[in-house]
């Protein structure tokens, strides 16, 4: 008698979705946002390494009539807030940065599929990481982008907007995107 070929059915593992409304799969979109934050932090550190290697503190290289590359050290926060506070601000801003990064990671895991919101958070996180690395390694943040316009003279010394860096730019872009995301969300309701 011919033997019947025994067939075994291998059942495919069921895909379990951990996605809830507005959430993300842990292995899905969130890793894209974390990668974007890492790319921003690495690019920020690369540009700062170039500035530290090629410029002395206070050097200025005019690029255009309204833009210079310079090397400045900021021990404070935005607009040199608390720069002359005596050293404790380094640890204060490090603590705030670590807390912010942790909170952003939580929100990315919770809302990773909301594209504009997550893009904004990834930009803020990348910038926070870039400046956190500076503070932990040097005790200050390296700023090098110096824009100046005569119409800014009444507000800023000789029209020079406070120098900033790539991390600061990413944080600003993230903040603008957060506002846009909120306006779009409110508009839908």
Known catalytic residue: 168? yes
Q: Quote the CA–CA distance of 16 and 4 in Å, as a whole number.
A: 36
Backbone CA torsion sign across 142, 148, 152, 154: positive
Sheet holding 67-74, edge to edge: 60-62, 67-74, 141-147
The catalytic residue among 134, 146, 168, 181 is: 168
Q: Which of 134, 143, 146, 181 is catalytic?
A: 143
The per-residue DSSP string of 17-59 comes to P---TT---TTTHHHHHHHHHHHHHHHHHHHHHHHHHH--TT-
Q: For residue 167, how many other CB atoms are within 10 A of its CB?
A: 29
d(CA 171, CA 150): 26
> Catalytic site residues?
143, 168
């Amino acid at each position: 008698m011919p033997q019947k070929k025994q067939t075994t059915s291998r059942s495919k593992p069921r895909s379990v979705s951990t996605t809830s409304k507005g959430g993300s799969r842990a292995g899905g979109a969130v890793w894209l946002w974390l990668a974007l934050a890492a790319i921003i932090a690495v690019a920020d550190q690369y540009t700062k390494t170039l500035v530290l290697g090629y410029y002395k503190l206070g050097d200025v290289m005019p690029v255009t009539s309204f833009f210079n590359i310079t090397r400045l050290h900021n021990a404070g926060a935005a607009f040199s807030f608390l720069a002359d506070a005596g050293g404790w601000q380094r640890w204060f801003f490090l603590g705030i940065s670590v807390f912010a990064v942790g909170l952003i990671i939580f929100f990315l895991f919770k809302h990773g599929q909301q594209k504009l919101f997550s893009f904004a958070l990834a930009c803020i996180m990348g910038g926070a990481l870039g400046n956190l690395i500076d503070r932990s390694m040097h005790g200050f943040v390296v700023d090098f982008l110096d824009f100046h316009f005569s119409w800014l003279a009444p507000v800023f010394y000789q029209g020079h907007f406070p120098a900033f860096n790539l991390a600061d730019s990413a944080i600003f872009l993230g903040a603008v995107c957060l506002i846009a995301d909120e306006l779009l969300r409110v508009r839908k309701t």
